[in-house]
């Protein structure tokens, strides 16, 4: 919008709090184009993160050891050497995507009031453990509600403003919820069209309403290879039906992105499935000493009981789990989440693609 102060004085461009030009009917198209070019040229890179525990860097509140393991030992053992709300021994996907952009990890929404203005200008992480595209029964903000938070923080949205990038991380909580509710993987697979349809709407919102210049969205890893599925098989193989469901989700997501963005200008499919599969399904990636991971299907932190959890203690404070000596030799940290070393290995496969896409 233009602030008109009189016929003999120059117009002054109004801006939003984040330095982006405010939109308005009075601004001409040419002025709008010039303004966007100016702000894109001089604006800092921003990363806004939406999703679940694969991306959460501290948004899940501390509700006790049983419900929120990530705030208790042994989580954070590698980084930052204490529990800090990350669902791993160390860094997670958000950290590595931020690194690919040449920036620090954006502050978690929960920690925003302690952050500096400079930190807040780089973006924010709204992702929270347990969240899904739809409601998952975990009482956490789904992706739609996370985008609502972003929009509430920005009075005016303008597509193409600055260098806003959204990272959307979906790792399967919707399908875990459907399987638990209806007691089977087949029920989860039947839920795929509903989940992908809603995901499409949220991706559209990020582009058309939230002003994101680029949107990076993950596909699903081979879910049947997570330890929660491999433990019943004595860690000797993956669940083929769960993996087939992940493949079906990924195919539907590719179709959605092709329809939303035929010219691949706004959306980037961040393929985590391929590198996960390369490590988890490759017969040559066994227990040989010259392999990156000593163990791919068994987690570093393993509960004593199948229905237990990493970090569990009994009433006397005695550990009810085993912990490996070197998380860097394990792909999975607990029954669902990768180690920092696994995320680092996966990130090496997409780092160049992310940098290239976001630099255009």
103 neighbors 47 (Cβ within 8 angstroms) = yes
Instruction: Judge contact between 152 and 34, C-beta under 8 A.
Output: no
List alpha helices for the chain, DSSP H.
29-42, 93-100, 117-120, 143-153, 173-182, 185-190, 192-208, 227-230, 240-260, 273-280, 340-359
Spell out the long-range contacts of 220-223 with Cβ–Cβ below 8 A and sequence spacing 24 or more: 220/170, 220/171, 220/172, 220/246, 220/249, 220/250, 220/272, 220/273, 221/171, 221/172, 221/246, 221/272, 221/273, 221/276, 221/277, 222/246, 222/273, 222/276, 222/277, 222/280, 222/281, 223/172, 223/175
Q: What is the largest CA-CA distance in the chain?
A: 80
Which residues does 276 contact at the CB level (< 8 Å), separation at least 6?
221, 222, 225, 346
* Token pair of 285 as six digits: 């990636």
Beta bridge partners of 47: 123, 165
DSSP category for residue 202? H
Helix (H, G, I), strand (E, B) or coil at 170: coil
Catalytic residues: 53, 334, 337
Distance CA 353, CA 344 (A): 15
């Amino acid at each position: 919008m233009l602030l008109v102060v009189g016929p003999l004085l120059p117009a002054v461009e109004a801006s939003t709090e984040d330095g982006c030009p405010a939109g308005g009917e009075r601004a001409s198209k040419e002025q709008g184009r010039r303004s966007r070019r100016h702000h894109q040229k001089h604006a800092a890179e921003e990363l806004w993160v939406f999703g679940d525990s694969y991306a959460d860097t501290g948004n899940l509140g501390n509700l006790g050891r049983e419900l929120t393991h990530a705030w208790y030992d042994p989580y954070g053992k590698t980084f930052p050497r204490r529990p800090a709300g990350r669902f791993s021994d160390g860094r997670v996907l958000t950290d590595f995507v931020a690194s690919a952009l040449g920036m620090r990890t954006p502050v978690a929404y929960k920690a925003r009031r302690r952050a500096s203005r400079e930190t807040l200008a780089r973006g924010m992480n709204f992702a929270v453990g347990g969240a899904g595209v739809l409601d998952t029964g975990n009482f956490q903000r789904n992706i739609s509600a996370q985008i609502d938070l972003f929009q509430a923080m920005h009075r005016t949205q303008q597509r193409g403003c600055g260098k806003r990038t959204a990272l959307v991380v979906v790792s399967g909580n919707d399908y875990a919820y459907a399987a638990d509710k209806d007691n089977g993987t087949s029920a989860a697979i039947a839920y795929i069209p509903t989940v992908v349809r809603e995901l499409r709407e949220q991706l559209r919102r990020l582009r058309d309403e939230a002003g994101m210049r680029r949107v990076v969205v993950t596909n699903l890893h081979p879910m049947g290879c997570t330890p929660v599925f491999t433990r019943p098989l004595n860690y000797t193989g993956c669940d083929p039906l769960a993996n087939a469901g992940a493949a079906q989700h990924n195919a539907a997501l590719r179709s959605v992105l092709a329809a939303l963005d035929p010219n691949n200008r706004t959306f980037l499919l961040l393929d985590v499935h391929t590198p996960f599969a390369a490590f988890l399904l490759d017969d040559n990636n066994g227990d040989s000493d010259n392999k990156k991971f000593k163990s791919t299907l068994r987690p570093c932190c393993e509960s004593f009981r199948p229905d237990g959890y990493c970090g569990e203690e009994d009433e006397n404070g005695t550990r009810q789990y085993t912990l490996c000596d070197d998380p860097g030799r394990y792909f999975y940290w607990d029954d669902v989440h990768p180690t920092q070393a696994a995320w680092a290995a996966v990130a090496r496969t997409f780092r160049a693609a992310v940098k290239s896409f976001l630099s255009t």
